[in-house]
Amino acid sequence: MRPMYLVTMLLALLTACGSSLPERYVIEHDLGAFGYRRYQKTLDVEIVVEGNPAVGHTASYMRREGDKQVAVTTAFVTVYQHAASLAAEARERLTTLSSYQFSVRELAGADVWSLDGGKSERWAIWVSGPYLVKIGAPASEELPMELVKAYLALYPSDLDEHGRAKAGKSSAGAAKAAAAEDKDLPLPASLREGAPR
């Protein structure tokens, strides 16, 4: 009986270790040319979904080139209480942001939403179960693929080539009608001009 117990415990431990996320949901170490700088937790989430409370987690990374040029990028992971209909809810909110061009694109072999702010910044955003992941860069920079790949490895995109949740994903489902009628959604603080990156 005891050997079976040990085998069961070992399998449980291996399974838990293989699928665990970072304790604070963001990657808190250097990624390629980008050095990790700081973590911040926020209750003021960017995409509010009625009846689905969430907490945001951010990490900032910096790449220095030569003596003067510095590129700062940010990763946001918003953790929602449940995944149901999260992809549709988030897509609906993102398409209403008039100061950004919304599209779907493939990055690192995964389909993501793209927000292009013209001269301000650009973002890659996707849903993975109850998580909304957002990686940003200034308009003068390309999206940091080191960060995109690392976060996609932790949070695989639920999106298909049309930017909707794939069938069978926990984030699938229709957006609530009340959200569709709300045209006065505020622009998320981190997407406003002059917001810290």
171 part of a folded domain: yes
pLDDT higher than 90, residue 189? no
Overall domain count for the chain: 1
Q: What three-state secondary structure class fits 4?
A: helix
45 part of a folded domain: yes
Using the CB atoms, write b or e for 71-108: b if 16+ within 10 Å.
bbbbbbbbbbeebbbbbbbbbbbbebeeebebebeebe
- The domain in which residue 183 lies consists of 21-191
Contact call for residues 99 and 152 (beta carbons, < 8 A): no
Q: What is the percent of the chain where pLDDT is above 70? A: 78
64 part of a folded domain: yes
pLDDT higher than 50, residue 10? no
Residue 170 gets which letter from DSSP? T
pLDDT higher than 70, residue 184? no
Q: What three-state secondary structure class fits 95?
A: helix
pLDDT tens string 58-97: 999 998 776 666 788 999 999 999 999 999 999 999 999 9
161 part of a folded domain: yes
> For position 79, what pLDDT does the model report?
98
Q: What number of other Cβ atoms are within 10 A of residue 38's Cβ? A: 10
Count of residues in the chain: 197
31 part of a folded domain: yes
> For position 4, what pLDDT does the model report?
40
35 part of a folded domain: yes
Q: Model-level pTM?
A: 0.80
> What rounded mean pLDDT belongs to the chain?
84
160 part of a folded domain: yes
14 part of a folded domain: no
Using the CB atoms, write b or e for 110-136: b if 16+ within 10 Å.
bbbbbbebeebbbbbbbbbbbbbbbbb
